[in-house]
Structure 1
Amino acid sequence: MIELLQQYWPNYLYSDGFNYSGLVITLWLLVISIVLGFGLAVPLAVARASRNPWISRPVWLYTYVFRGTPLYVQLLLCYTGIYSLNYVHTHALLGEFFRSAMNCTLLAFTLNECAYATEIFAGSIRETPAGEIEAGLAYGMSKFKLYTRIILPSALRRALPAYSNEVILMLHATTLAFTATVPDILKVARDANSATYMTFEAYGIAAILYATIVFALIWAFRRMETRMLAYLKPQGH
Structure 2
Amino acid sequence: MGLLGLNVDLMERYGLRFLDGVQVTLELVLLSVFLGALLSLPLAVARVEGGKFLSRASFTYSYFFRGTPLLAQTFLVYYGAGQFRPQLTDIGLWWFFRDAFNCAVFTFTLNTAAYQAEILRGGIESLPIGQMEAARAIGLTRYQAYRKVILPQAIAIGLRPLGNELVLMIKSSAIASVITVYDLMGVTRLAFSRSYDMEVYLWAALLYLIMVELVRRIWDVLERRLNRHLTLSR
State the TM-score, normalized to the length of structure 2: 0.92
- Whole-Å separation in 2 of the counterparts to 1:24 and 1:46: 34
Match of 1:70 in 2: 69
State the Cα deviation string for residues 171-209 of structure 1 (Å, max 9, x = none).
11100011000001111111111211211x101111111
State the Cα deviation string for residues 50-107 of structure 1 (Å, max 9, x = none).
1611221111111111111100000000000122136435536232222111111111
1:43-192 → structure 2 map (5 Å cutoff)? 43-50=42-49, 52-85=51-84, 87-88=86-87, 90-91=89-90, 93-192=92-191
- Whole-Å separation in 1 of the counterparts to 2:212 and 2:66: 23
What secondary structure sits across from 1:140 in the alignment?
coil
What secondary structure sits across from 2:82 in the alignment?
coil
Checking the alignment, whether the CA contact within 8 Å between 2:120 and 2:154 is kept in structure 1 is yes
Tell me how far 1:140 sits from its aligned partner. Answer: 2.7
- Whole-Å separation in 2 of the counterparts to 1:74 and 1:54: 25
What secondary structure sits across from 1:93 in the alignment?
coil
Matched residue type, 1:215 = E
Match of 2:202 in 1: 204
- Whole-Å separation in 2 of the counterparts to 1:167 and 1:129: 28
- Shift of the 63–215 alpha-carbon distance from structure 1 to 2, 3 Å rule, reads same
- List, as ranges, runs of 4+ consecutive aligned residues in structure 1 with deviation greater than 6 Å: none
Gaps of at least 5 residues in structure 1 are: 14-20
Match of 2:226 in 1: 228
Match of 1:8 in 2: 14
State the Cα deviation string for residues 138-170 of structure 1 (Å, max 9, x = none).
323221221111101111111101110011001
Deviates more, 1:224-233 or 1:213-222: 224-233
- Whole-Å separation in 2 of the counterparts to 1:76 and 1:195: 26
Percent identity, aligned pairs only? 37
Gaps of at least 5 residues in structure 2 are: 1-6
- Shift of the 137–179 alpha-carbon distance from structure 1 to 2, 3 Å rule, reads same
Deviates more, 1:123-132 or 1:63-72: 123-132
Checking the alignment, whether the CA contact within 8 Å between 2:85 and 2:94 is kept in structure 1 is no
State the TM-score, normalized to the length of structure 1: 0.91
What secondary structure sits across from 2:140 in the alignment?
coil
Tell me how far 1:2 sits from its aligned partner. Answer: 1.5
CA RMSD of aligned residues (A): 1.6
What secondary structure sits across from 1:83 in the alignment?
helix
- Whole-Å separation in 1 of the counterparts to 2:201 and 2:51: 50
Count of paired positions = 228
What secondary structure sits across from 1:82 in the alignment?
helix
- Whole-Å separation in 1 of the counterparts to 2:91 and 2:117: 32
